[in-house]
Chains A and B, each alone.
Chain A
Amino acid sequence: MAATASRLQELQATRRRRERLTTLKNSINWLYLLPFVIFFVLWQAYPLFRVAYLSFTDYWYIRGDPPVFIGLENFANALVDPVVHDGLLRATIFTVMFLPGCILLPLAVAAMVDRVTQGRLATFYRIILLIPAMIPGPMVFVMWRTIYNYQIGPINEILVNILGWYSFGNAPQWLGGGTLTLPAMVVMENWWGLGYHTMFFLAGMATIPRDLYDAAKVDGANEWNTFWRVTVPRLRPMLLVMTVLRFGTAMAVIDEYLILGGLVRNTSTYTWTVYMWHLAFQLGDWAQGYAAAIGWIGAAAMLVIVAFLFWLFRNRD
């Protein structure tokens, strides 16, 4: 009896030793991940930790002094800084205006392109719709900066010269951080993202079994009902992930604000992201400690809402 027990223990020990050996031997596979790890650690993880550390210090890049630990002072200052408040509010306004169009328009277009039965035509539609996605963001913004231009842009040209609704004295000012800049940016962003998001929804629709549509048709459902009762529920997980992902990216955009807005504090495009960048690389002695704190506050606010959205859309079944 005792002999069997000890034999069993011995067997287990060997197995454990062998397993540990396999794990050790498999660690060699990390060589495949090594290049990834180098890039990830040096240019993503370490910089993030560095920024986290700096946010607790008094640090001005230009002064060249080493960072001095000051605890939560930067965060305390940032939380009562009206520019931070306005910045977060402006980013939220942009995001709230941007999100519905970014989800609903591509969903509608995808539902229509999905109905196209001629293969070649469907491919053609997809290619054209995807063309904007092949233009890098900043270049899209430069193009729309021309289109929204006060004097030479085609929009104002149509409003003034062709429709005659305005004169060049009172034509709408689309750029520069006025009240129209954020809506103008929303239109631009939706133009840019339309095809890309449509592709996502089309891929999602392709996974829905055709029988479901046939069954709905037999039951006498029209296209509209089929879309809401069959397509949308099936795409629900995808819609959720897209909404949350796009919420996150929209809260943290900066390039479009810099290109279409500018660096004036009391304008609608001066968001927390612009403020952070402005403080860290342009203003005075580059207050990077304070800027880091603002960055973390913005990111934290964003993550809280992302978590809230996941909770809101959680699967209740």
Chain B
Amino acid sequence: MENALVEERPKKVLGRRRKFRSTRFLLHAIIILFIIVVLCPLLYTIKLSLQDIPSAYQGYLLPTHWTLDHYPYVLTELPTATRNLVNSIWVTIATVILVSAVSVIAGYALVHLPTPGKGLVLAFLVGTLFFPTRLLSLIGIYQVQKLLGLQNETYGLIFPYVSIGLALSVLIMRSVFEQISVEITEAAYVDGANSWYTLWHIMFPLVKNGLVVIIMVNFVVVWGEYLISMTLIDDMEKRTFPVVLTQVSVGQAQWSWPRLSAMYIVAILPGIVGFIISQRWYMKGLTEGAIKM
């Protein structure tokens, strides 16, 4: 009797563990399947950018000849494309810096300062999230830009660009600032710090992760912005890169598919690399309240 009991017990445990293992395996298998689906289009584009032109047009999924020539070619031989890439780079940098600064100080004032009428500001901010502002305001933005002499100027794009990401950025910053206890501000005031000093020396180090989220979100929006740029800028050499990328007549000699792919990889790589480098802070920023938006 006793022996039978002893023998039975391990069997049961083993059975449960085996079942446990097979569900684990299935779990990872399904996740990995999704990951492959996510990566496939990207890997295909990378492959296309490394493929020589004839084999890309002969319907081979795998290239007969690998080549790196397309990368130097697109960066040196296509004058307006390089110009457009440079335009995009400085417009993006300027916009991201501006929008970060504006939303950090606004988020601070909305949470830690007694600002009269902040409920109204908040209502406007949330309202714009539910409203197709970017699309609907475009006609008006065109006229504002014309009025201010900013239409058909690359730097003129910075102002509407700051405003498209602004509502979301301020709201994200607001929920990040809400994670910081009021006592910290009060302690700073008791020590004689004013609100400006408190923001930059005491609060700022505490909201850095949220700032990383804002930088990434706005980088992605502005770096790829297409509609406003296409509508506001008429001259080819003043345009930003996404507009050129979408409008080149593909298939012709200069812009053959592998070359377009090489240009494309150049365009998307900074964002992906930047994300992988900053992912630790980004994920922390998301959990620190940014995700509540």
Q: Which residues of A pack against B, CB within 8 Å?
A: 22-23, 26-27, 29-30, 32-33, 35-36, 39-40, 42-51, 54, 61, 109, 112-113, 115-116, 121, 123, 125-139, 141-144, 146-147, 152, 154, 157-158, 160-162, 191, 194-195, 199-200, 203, 206, 223, 244-245, 248-249, 251-252, 254-255, 258-259, 273, 276-277, 280-281, 288, 291-292, 295-296, 298-299, 302-303, 306
Task: Indicate whether A29 sits within 8 Å of B114 (C-beta atoms), given known contacts A36-B166, A191-B37, A195-B38.
Answer: yes
Bound complex: CA A61 to CA B274 (Å): 42
Closest residue of chain A to B32 (Cβ to Cβ) is: A125
Contacts of A160 in B (CB 8 A): 59
> B166 → chain A, closest Cβ, in Å?
6
Interface residues of B in 33-61 (CB under 8 A from A): 34-35, 37-39, 41-42, 44-45, 48, 56-57, 59, 61
Closest residue of chain A to B229 (Cβ to Cβ) is: A138
- Whether, in the assembled complex, B14 has its beta carbon less than 8 Å from a beta carbon of chain A, the answer is no
Interface residues of B in 143-167 (CB under 8 A from A): 143-144, 159-160, 162-163, 166-167
Contacts of B264 in A (CB 8 A): 139, 142-143
Contacts of A162 in B (CB 8 A): 61
Bound complex: CA A273 to CA B134 (Å): 11
Contacts of B227 in A (CB 8 A): 254-255, 258, 277
Contact A39 B31 (CB under 8 A): no
Bound complex: CA A44 to CA B105 (Å): 19
> B208 → chain A, closest Cβ, in Å?
19
Q: How many residues of B contact A (CB 8 A)?
A: 85
Give which listed residue, B121, B163, B291, contacts A33 with CB less than 8 A. Answer: B121
Contacts of B28 in A (CB 8 A): 116, 121
> B214 → chain A, closest Cβ, in Å?
13
Contacts of A44 in B (CB 8 A): 128, 133, 137, 163, 166-167
> B71 → chain A, closest Cβ, in Å?
17
Q: Among the listed stretches B73-81, B185-193, B216-224, which one makes contact with chain A, having 4 or more residues with CB under 8 Å of it?
A: B216-224
Contact B135 A295 (CB under 8 A): yes
List 9 additional contacts besides A142-B264, A146-B261; criterion CB under 8 Å: A32-B108, A44-B128, A125-B31, A126-B283, A138-B224, A152-B56, A254-B135, A277-B135, A303-B130
Bound complex: CA A47 to CA B231 (Å): 15
Give which listed residue, B59, B226, B267, contacts A161 with CB less than 8 A. Answer: B59
Task: Indicate whether A141 sits within 8 Å of B37 (C-beta atoms), given known contacts A43-B163, A248-B132.
Answer: no
Contact A26 B115 (CB under 8 A): yes
Contact A51 B136 (CB under 8 A): yes
